[in-house]
């Protein structure tokens, strides 16, 4: 069960925009703690979205983008870009959570299959794949359509960052070629970010509709 797109308002009005950006900001603040503090404590180095932006600029255009501009782009995408994308997809794409879950499942499975064919597959990759697919499968037992949909969106933001943007920047698919540890921490961080952003936005919208 998902929240049907045709049951929701299909335009971004003033209050809706504020709710979107509030959700994005809340999710991003939690992401920052996960990426810059907890990931560094676990791996010895943080997640660096600004580094991915730099990789894209360098690989595709031969440009060196100043750090502050890259950080501003990161915050802009987290607070505005992803929330607006969520609004558009959730209101106009039928059965969008199933579509996004399928994209993540197929592409990540393909990435793991690629490791197997090249002989670089390791047990940690199987554990990672099991965790990602298991999270997608929780939709089958999740009694909250909102939480299930929020998780689907979080999964998709991870696909967008590492399944799409990382290869554009000359990095490996889902960063699996770098061992998988960084990809896993990014996976968890993106799921938390996206889920919090969607959950808070929809709750604010529901509260506003009752007011």
What distance in Å separates the CA atoms of residue 52 and residue 167, rounded to the nearest whole number?
10
Instruction: Give the DSSP H or E segment for 169.
Output: none
Asked whether the predicted pLDDT for residue 140 surpasses 70, the reply is: yes
What secondary structure does DSSP assign to 121-166, as a single string?
Answer: --HHHHHHHHHHHHHHHGGGT-S-HHHHHHHHHHHHHHIIIIIIIH
What does the block give as tokens for 192? Answer: 């938390």
The pLDDT tens digits for 152-189 are 999 999 999 999 999 999 999 999 998 889 999 999 99
Rounded distance, CA 94 to CA 4, Å?
A: 7
Statement: residue 211 has pLDDT above 70: no
pLDDT tens digit string along 78-114? 999 999 999 999 999 999 999 999 999 999 999 999 9
Measure CA 92 to chain center: 19
| pLDDT value at 6 more than 50 | no
- In the predicted structure, residue 7 carries a pLDDT above the cut 70: no
pLDDT band at 192 (very low <50, low <70, confident <90, very high): very high
Burial of 162 by CB count in 10 Å (0-12 exposed, 13-18 middle, 19+ buried)? Answer: buried
| pLDDT confidence of residue 22 | 98
Categorize the per-residue pLDDT at 4 as very low, low, confident or very high, splitting at 50, 70 and 90. very low
What is the residue extent of each domain of the chain? 12-210
Sequence-distant (6+) residues with CB within 8 A of 149 are: 2, 3, 90, 97, 198
pLDDT for res 207? 82
pLDDT band at 9; cut points 50, 70, 90: low
Given a cut of 50, is residue 44 above it in pLDDT? Answer: yes
**Residue 55: CB atoms within 10 Å:** 17
User: Taking 90 as the threshold, does the pLDDT of residue 67 lie above it?
Assistant: yes
Q: How confident is the model at residue 1 (pLDDT cuts 50, 70, 90)?
A: very low
Give percent of the chain with pLDDT exceeding 90. 89
**Cα angle value 190/43/134 (rounded, 5°):** 45
Higher pLDDT, 10 or 138: 138
On whether the CB atoms of residues 5 and 93 are closer than 8 A, the answer is: yes
Which pLDDT value is given to residue 10?
Answer: 59
């Amino acid at each position: 069960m998902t929240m049907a797109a045709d049951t929701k308002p299909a335009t971004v009005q003033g209050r809706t925009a504020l709710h979107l950006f509030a959700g994005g900001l809340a999710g991003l603040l939690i992401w920052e703690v996960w990426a810059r503090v907890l990931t560094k404590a676990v791996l010895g180095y943080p997640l660096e979205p600004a580094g991915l932006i730099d990789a894209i600029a360098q690989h595709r255009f031969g440009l060196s983008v100043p750090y502050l501009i890259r950080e501003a782009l990161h915050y802009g995408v987290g607070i505005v870009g992803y929330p607006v994308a969520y609004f558009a997809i959730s209101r106009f794409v039928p059965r969008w959570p199933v579509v996004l879950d399928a994209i993540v499942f197929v592409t990540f499975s393909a990435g793991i299959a690629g490791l197997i064919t090249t002989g670089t597959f390791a047990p940690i990759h199987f554990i990672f794949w099991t965790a990602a697919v298991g999270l997608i499968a929780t939709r089958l037992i999740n009694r909250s359509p909102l939480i299930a949909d929020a998780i689907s969106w979080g999964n998709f933001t991870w696909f967008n960052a590492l399944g799409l943007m990382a290869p554009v920047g000359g990095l490996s698919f889902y960063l699996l070629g770098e061992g998988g540890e960084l990809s896993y921490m990014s996976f968890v961080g993106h799921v938390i970010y996206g889920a919090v952003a969607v959950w808070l936005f929809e709750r604010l919208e529901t509260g506003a509709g009752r007011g």
